[in-house]
Structure 1
């Protein structure tokens, strides 16, 4: 089987020696081509070339959620899988690895490689649904390129936290859970819009939901992980359904304490809840828009400020080795 291994050489939790060991293990069973990413967006280009030129049967992403997202967008550059695209495989190498862990893969890169090889031998795969975000026609963001996401998108507060973390990483800080928590507190203190929401949630044939300060679009559960603990914002979200949405209409100090406690105690049966929580399940089409530009993120990648983003849940968009 022909395989392209896309390696992020600065992945958070894998050393050069570990990557060499994994590469040799994969090469023993596969006709393997290895490509290291050299800049942001490179993984997307590599995966797109493999899909369009038909040079690989499977594309393996070795890195964190950002690397996986780029590979997915490269594979799906021309649209959802119709049975002809290379399959996706993931070896986790980031700090959180939400997509890989949501698929049930081990969080350790060596163990995940062993599981991947076993799945390849067994020809074990599944088709997963994905989210697609795009600019909204008739708005200032209409021409923004569409982008696929694997596990979540955020508009408003949480995307602002992601933006702060990326800024710190550009200054040489390592991506850790402690860094995210510190930036969340700092963003909370400095965000003046957290008590007066400007986000509207719009769905075809439904009354709009107004005044949200935070909105999270989930493609699967859990939403994220805190160390080894899964965190469920929208527990019913699944790769087998469309999109789930969680929104908050207020984020005061008391509310932050309450919702943080709910997330720490969340489970597959219960996520965020309360009178100021909006929770929607299995939504195929929706739009989030704001009176003022707000931060936007996909799969932990900050994409700047937007006034409007439209979302589509696409069933069975891509085949994944599991």
Structure 2
């Protein structure tokens, strides 16, 4: 069967080939709304698919993005999945590149010819990557643990995430709260702010490594009815510690964790979490890169997306099962 061409679309829509090309491009310049809608409808009816090779030759773009991920860590997979899906929707391919932790100062995509670079959880600020034309590649960084990066930095709105956890526990009528974290930061600050707004006593903040031996002494000494852990691993160890102390979750202690994953979903009880918008972060990063590549748009300095409270069995059930905090 013959491939539907741009000329076929133009003829069926009753427009010039150049008009059809502009209407079907990402920039859609100088084409009226009604004309563009008609061309898009005709293209969909005919099953038109753009010739990516021809587009690349014409525009000088490869329609290829690199996603660089840490080679010594995991947890980046949902971000990559969101990025890959959005890249397909935007007509781009995404290639995976592993960052070697032993090469701290090296550029992460040496030798790759790409239009843009997505750094996922690099854990450090990396030097700008220079493209083949001598111009820095458009770059987006997704990392909750960085304050700034080269290019756009996309991250979870951490303070709001902590506040969502505190508000949820306060809504359950819990009044003696505590926090367990690997370190202080905006997630903890947001939780404390929520408790203050609810006129609750200032929660105790405990710092511990995500290991059972480090967590159990903490949870066996606190007298609480509400508990917030900044990772599912800390939360799981906390539940075990509470049980050994004769307390049950959620009957005696309501518990919320920041993060999500297999552990949180399949633990007993399943953990109520404030879930970072991982897939949305990856998709938004791709949009920023594609816009920068195709329209020479300036990549914004930073962007935060809001996390979602997902209520499961570790906190007292409530009528509204989930919400997106403002």
TM-score (norm 1): 0.29
Larger-gyration structure (1/2): 2
Relative contact order, CA 8 A, sep 6+: which one is greater?
1
TM-score (norm 2): 0.28
More strand by share: 1
